[in-house]
Amino acid sequence: MENISDEKPFEVLLTSDSVGQVCNTCAWDPVTGSSLHQWKGGTSIPHSLSLVGSDYLLSGQPNKPLLNLWQVNRSEQVPIRMFTPGPVSALAVSPSGNYLAVSVQENINIWQVGTGALLSVLSRHYQPVSVIKFTRDGSHLVSGGEDGQVLVWSLVQCVARRTLPGQEKGEVGQVEPRYTWTDHSLPITDIHCGICSSGPFCRVFTVSLDQVCRVYSMIRGEQLLAVSFPQPLTALAVDNMETTVYVGTKAGTIHTFSLLAPPRDISVTVDRLDNKTLPGHKESITALSLSMDSLTLASGSEDQTVVLWDTASGQSVRSLSHKGSVVCVKFIPTPPALLRGGDNWNPARKLVSLQKGLGQDVFQCNILRKEDCGEAVNWKSQNHINMVSSGDMKEEDEDFTIKELKEINNQLYKFALKKVLS
């Protein structure tokens, strides 16, 4: 691995294309445009590239029931086979890194990352799920599908093994969404969950091929604003202050509008708002992402380029060429393991293979953090050692059983021999 420069950028830009000829995913310095690190092996699907904490990188493979998995400080994939029930259409990891949500057709599967236990299967979409996002506090999951529905799920209800106090009685595992928004008439293409100002209550932004960008409130579950555009919308980004919204279109243009002076009407056209247009791509926009200071916008397109924009002036700063259609563009804080190098990787969790079926009859108390285990656990080794020494106890039980069976067999032999001789 090439070490990151001494300047140590506080954030990097991740990009992936549909070909994977050079690499699956590449980390770029957004200031200089230089390549910092590459993760190799296969390709990734849109809306799937996610960080597990700051230790692993995870994505879905096209047309395969298997996930790509890398250590952030290694180029080759980790030799752990993480199979899913079918080809993945979207993927998201909770901000804490403890839960993994994967959509397979109309179903959303939720696993616990540290144990691989399948906790819940959500089935309320009637067409394939296209986007999954967690809220910033990790308390809710928002899913959008090709059926035009946007569903908000309470994570605690999704992973609960029994009916919670105050929850309506029903079959455990059959979770109902907290909100169901059906205002869109065509497939959902992107979702953005805003900053949670008071508990889990935030604003949710959605775009769809029906040419409308909608804003919802999670306090009452109501629609706040619907902005219509002249082309189908394919990507979305919102600044940290939630004052400026960027949307990408199938025509290759990027529209931006301000929320500082919202209109009186809920439904408006973009012409009635303070808006700008960035005509920088020749084909459909596939992904948008804003830097942490919201001063740089990165846009990926089917024209095989990623363009970096200065948001203040609206000018194109730099273009990054790829070998195929860009499927992922994402700004992330620089993982510490990338800064320290390969010899200083200290993961906070260990990833394992995913459970294939629900085990509702088994009650488990799973360890989520390495601090819960003490210093005796070697989290870097492939062979996990439990602090409770359950493996040693199992071996002792097996030895005792073998000795007991040998004694019984010896007694049966003596009894049979005595009867034969008599």
pTM: 0.80
3-state secondary structure of 338: helix
Q: DSSP secondary structure string, 154-188?
A: EHHHHH-SSPPTTSPP--TT-PPPSEEE----S-E
Residue pLDDT, tens place only, 200-233: 568 999 999 999 999 999 888 999 999 999 999 9
d(CA 52, CA 44): 16
Res 70: pLDDT: 92
Residue 295 has pLDDT above 90, yes or no: yes
**Which pLDDT score, from 0 to 100, does residue 165 have?**
58
Does position 74 have pLDDT exceeding 70, yes or no?
A: yes
3-state secondary structure of 276: strand
Confidence at residue 166, expressed as pLDDT on a 0 to 100 scale: 56
For the segment 148-180, what is each residue's pLDDT rounded down to a tens digit? 999 999 998 888 766 555 555 544 457 889 999
What's the pLDDT tens digit per position in 136-152? 888 899 999 999 999 99
CB distance 344 to 377 below 8 Å = no
Residues 308-349 pLDDT 10s: 999 998 899 999 999 999 999 999 998 887 776 556 677 888
Q: Tell me what pLDDT residue 365 has.
A: 45
The domain segmentation of the chain, as residue ranges, is 11-344, 388-422
Q: Contact at 8 Å (CB) between 71 and 345?
A: yes
Residue-wise over 107-119: b if at least 16 C-beta within 10 A, else e? bbbbbbbbbbbbb
CA nearest to 161, candidates 124, 110, 125, 100: 110
CATH 2.130.10.10 applies to domain 11-344 = yes
Q: What's the CA gap between 323 and 287, in Å, rounded?
A: 16
Contacts of residue 107, defined as CB under 8 A and 6 or more positions apart, other chains included, come to: 85, 121, 122, 123, 125, 129
The pLDDT tens digits for 346-399 are: 788 888 888 887 655 444 444 344 443 444 344 344 443 333 334 444 455 566
